[in-house]
Amino acid sequence: MARARRSPSKKARRSGPTTKPFCSIPARPVPNLAPHVMANSLRAEAIIRTRLKWVNGTVIHYCFFGGSSRYAVPKKQADAIRGAFRKWKAVGIGLEFQEVDQLSEAEVRIGYSTADGESASSVGREVLSVPVNQPTTVYGWDLTTPYGSGTALHELGHVLGMEHEHQNPFAGILWHEQAVYDSLAKPPNSWDRATTYHNILEKLSTQQVQGSKWDPDSIMEYEFEPGLIDIPEKYDINGLTPPGTLSNADRRWARQWYPPLKARLTKLQPFEAAAADLAAGQQIDFAINPTESRKYTVETKGASDTLLTLFEDIKGKPRFLAGDDDSGEDRNASVTYKLFKERSYIVRLRLYYPGQSGKTSVMYS
């Protein structure tokens, strides 16, 4: 009975906005971790939450498809995407975005195709496993409209490691499921049931979201017409129209994972362990200035789960050299690399989970 009352009036349905084209990326699968790791829910949660995030301080190189490619990005669309990168950077994050003109030099390869009509992106470090001749991020509609400028920001939110907000299990959204399937089956989306399920109805696991609250204003929230959301009731009647800009919670999220970088880094001395006692998700950075040119090994000590990375600092721009991710593996992260005298290197260590002792250290030798 209560449900019937919540059904939208026909009038609300007719007068509401029409369905917009939606970004199409399904909820990410929860990774396969060893049974004893999954049994430790704090540890598993920390690993799942952190695994797609970039190491803070990474320079993310991006490149637009061009020429005769089916993904060629017209200039005014590329400009809209450049503007979206600037907006994310203006939040005050430690990631850098640098445009390059060769696809093979770019972690993030951006395509545009109104013929495909799909916008989608790999999430965070997932982009690294996309074959180099393929886009990691595609846009399928005009980005120069107000709705399109939200899409430009939204796909870059995925690049930073964000997932869809309407799939936040804390959202408490109850759907008119058949109405959602029916609406999405129509153009412009024309989705089959499975696509609609995985993109909208399926909830993320609680480990995959940040915090414990739903943010309806998030750039990662879709716009929904009236009649699709059963509860909360106000969205049933009015539809849900996020502002299409970065919300305060989006900004907090970005600064939490990618805080501004410290100007000065602690120097690692060979054969001397440096403490890295971090909380889950936090990162510490060290400088290495080798006194001789040879192969070195940088490694962690302690029972923590970490992502250890090595960059060369080339005129103030860190270039990724190597990394090792020991999360969920009960071993220590270790990187062996030839370093050169008089060059500068940066070690960045992101902690997934501190382990029982809470003690982690880094050493190079």
- Strand locations in the chain (E): 59-64, 96-99, 108-112, 120-121, 137-139, 174-175, 229-231, 266-267, 274-275, 283-288, 294-301, 305-314, 317-325, 334-339, 345-353, 361-364
State which residue, 218 or 360, has the beta carbon closest to Zn ion: 218
State which residue, 23 or 349, has the beta carbon closest to Zn ion: 23
Q: How far apart are the first and last CA of the chain?
A: 71
Distances (CA, A) of 177 to 30, 183, 293: 24, 10, 63
CB of 164 to Zn ion, least distance (A): 5
CB of 305 to Zn ion, least distance (A): 28
What is the residue-wise DSSP string for 13-59? HHHSPPPPP-B--PPPPPP---HHHHHSHHHHHHHHHHTTSPPTT-E
- The count of other CB atoms within 10 Å of the CB of residue 267 is 11
Q: Tell me which residue has its CB nearest to Zn ion.
A: 23
State yes or no: residue 23 binds Zn ion (CB under 5 A).
yes
State which residue, 125 or 348, has the beta carbon closest to Zn ion: 125
State which residue, 46 or 153, has the beta carbon closest to Zn ion: 153
For residue 28, give the amino acid letter.
R
Stretch that binds Zn ion, among 19-27, 32-40, 105-113, 336-344 (CB under 5 A): 19-27
CB of 158 to Zn ion, least distance (A): 6
* Phi, psi of 82, rounded to the nearest 5 degrees: -60, -40
State yes or no: residue 339 binds Zn ion (CB under 5 A).
no
CB of 245 to Zn ion, least distance (A): 16
State which residue, 23 or 278, has the beta carbon closest to Zn ion: 23
Stretch that binds Zn ion, among 15-23, 196-204, 238-246, 311-319 (CB under 5 A): 15-23
Q: Smallest Cα–Cα separation from 25: which of 153, 142, 162?
A: 162
CB of 146 to Zn ion, least distance (A): 17
Stretch that binds Zn ion, among 16-24, 34-42, 125-133, 311-319 (CB under 5 A): 16-24
State yes or no: residue 127 binds Zn ion (CB under 5 A).
no
Interface residues with Zn ion (CB under 5 A)? 23
